[in-house]
Structure 1
């Protein structure tokens, strides 16, 4: 049994399939099956139950895999303690689609001639549930999760079960983002004013849950197109978290409150328990908190 084989087992559990795990690991399936059998014999337990759709851990297997994950995390933390290199830039983060976070990422890249270093960056945008799973699985070291304040107990329970550390960044009300050409730009906005407008939504992220009659919406999955749509189609809007002023000015956008619809949300920074924040992690968090102070 060796460290690499423990990672193989964790991947099999994640994929719920030996064949899929073998593809991800670039190992042939018979070889992976043999490794699993050898570990099961060495540990004197059955780790996986086979069925027609794949594999699932046995009760003992779950206990074994939990310990394996702790070992892998400890080794990753040990490596992380000594991986800081003045000539390399390492950052691995999973976040919601949010302009203040992307602004912080840009400011981080501009620090201390970072762009002249050897780059190893992984900046992923997705929803909070996927972020929690990615950080738990070790696919990302840091994550930022966003959820309604009313649902925080539910999310705290998930984070605790996944043994993730969480730190509050800030709370905010969602606002309406429109262009300077939008006919609503000079008036107070209520929900009824939005009925004739088109809402732009990220299709995999649920934000606004107020039901509206005759509601028009457009689901988008790529953040880059949202600003083009807002500028080119005046009768469009988005519900957004706070946005840096220079970004609003550059794109000729306006942030407006909705007088009869407030949606309090909160953002939390998360990482695995025992994970040691690298110098680069800490620098990014500093940039993040600096931008937050500017948009509050």
Structure 2
């Protein structure tokens, strides 16, 4: 059984289509179909069920593919371990939009002359469901997922189903970010006070549940979010704890809401069998250092 052919099977499962996988792998479809048939005959199982929209793994096929992924991960780890190059920097991570995480990423780049190395970095910001899928599919090696603490069991079920390892990083309450010119700056803030303000929503986090007379804008670019906070005093954002350095640089104030506390939690995730590289470990160390600063 050819090791490269195991990778082909994983691509077919990922795209749920032999033709799409063949295009991605730059081989012709008949050749890929023949490889699948040969592996099925050799393993004496049917790996994929064909239907008019593509292919799906059989029960035995899912078991086979799970083992194939473990083999591929172990071989890739061995390659990385013996091809370690102190002049190269590799990091591949998918995260929520969060200032403390981006600050950790910056600190990571600054450590040990990392910026002088050959860089191969993939830092992607997206929602938790896309992060889980990206890590599961192998698009990213590491991920950070964020969700309300009350939904923890629901997310654990998803992570366990996809055989992902997860490690708690940080539990926190969302806070209100405003500019120093906001009229609420020196006051204790309650939910009723926010009805006269404009909320800048971002990402897949939704805190406010009372929409009566509530004004908001959906903004997904971090730069314009900060500009709006500074230029329009009666605006605010719900955010995770932020580094003091960033608050000072932007003349921002972080305030707790006295009558609205919803705990959220961030988890580090990666595929079972994936062995954290030295670069991964260094980034996680930077992440935990910044978390201690913002607590």
Task: Give me the TM-score of the superposition, normalised by structure 2.
Answer: 0.92
For the structure 1 residues 207 and 140, does the alpha-carbon distance in structure 2 shift closer, same or farther, using more than 3 Å as the test?
farther
Between 170-179 and 232-241, the greater mean CA deviation after superposition: 232-241
Tell me how far 1:179 sits from its aligned partner: 1.4
Measured in 1, the distance between the counterparts of 2:67 and 2:34 equals 21
Tell me how far 1:206 sits from its aligned partner: 4.3
Q: SS at 1:12's partner residue?
A: helix
Tell me how far 1:207 sits from its aligned partner: 4.8
Between 109-118 and 57-66, the greater mean CA deviation after superposition: 57-66
- Unaligned 5+ segments in structure 1 are none
Q: SS at 1:120's partner residue?
A: strand
Partner of 2:25: 25
For the structure 1 residues 83 and 130, does the alpha-carbon distance in structure 2 shift closer, same or farther, using more than 3 Å as the test?
farther
Partner of 2:72: 72
Measured in 2, the distance between the counterparts of 1:268 and 1:203 equals 17
Between 74-83 and 190-199, the greater mean CA deviation after superposition: 74-83
Deviations 1:131-188 (A, max 9, x none): 2222222221111111111111222222223222222212111001111222222222
CA RMSD of aligned residues (A): 1.8
Measured in 2, the distance between the counterparts of 1:126 and 1:222 equals 12
For the structure 1 residues 202 and 158, does the alpha-carbon distance in structure 2 shift closer, same or farther, using more than 3 Å as the test?
same
For the structure 1 residues 89 and 216, does the alpha-carbon distance in structure 2 shift closer, same or farther, using more than 3 Å as the test?
same
Q: SS at 1:258's partner residue?
A: coil
Deviations 1:244-284 (A, max 9, x none): 00101111111111111011111111222232221111111
Q: SS at 1:195's partner residue?
A: helix
Partner of 1:131: 131
Partner of 1:149: 149
Between 70-79 and 172-181, the greater mean CA deviation after superposition: 70-79
Measured in 2, the distance between the counterparts of 1:83 and 1:267 equals 32
For the structure 1 residues 229 and 17, does the alpha-carbon distance in structure 2 shift closer, same or farther, using more than 3 Å as the test?
farther
For the structure 1 residues 186 and 78, does the alpha-carbon distance in structure 2 shift closer, same or farther, using more than 3 Å as the test?
same
Measured in 1, the distance between the counterparts of 2:132 and 2:215 equals 31
For the structure 1 residues 112 and 253, does the alpha-carbon distance in structure 2 shift closer, same or farther, using more than 3 Å as the test?
same
Partner of 2:241: 242
Between 40-49 and 60-69, the greater mean CA deviation after superposition: 40-49
Deviations 1:52-107 (A, max 9, x none): 22211122222221221121122223233334321010111111110000000000
Determine if contact 1:93/1:141 at 8 Å carries over to the other structure.
Answer: yes
Tell me how far 1:120 sits from its aligned partner: 0.7
For the structure 1 residues 73 and 262, does the alpha-carbon distance in structure 2 shift closer, same or farther, using more than 3 Å as the test?
same
Q: SS at 1:110's partner residue?
A: helix
Partner of 1:94: 94
Aligned residues: 294
Between 71-80 and 88-97, the greater mean CA deviation after superposition: 71-80
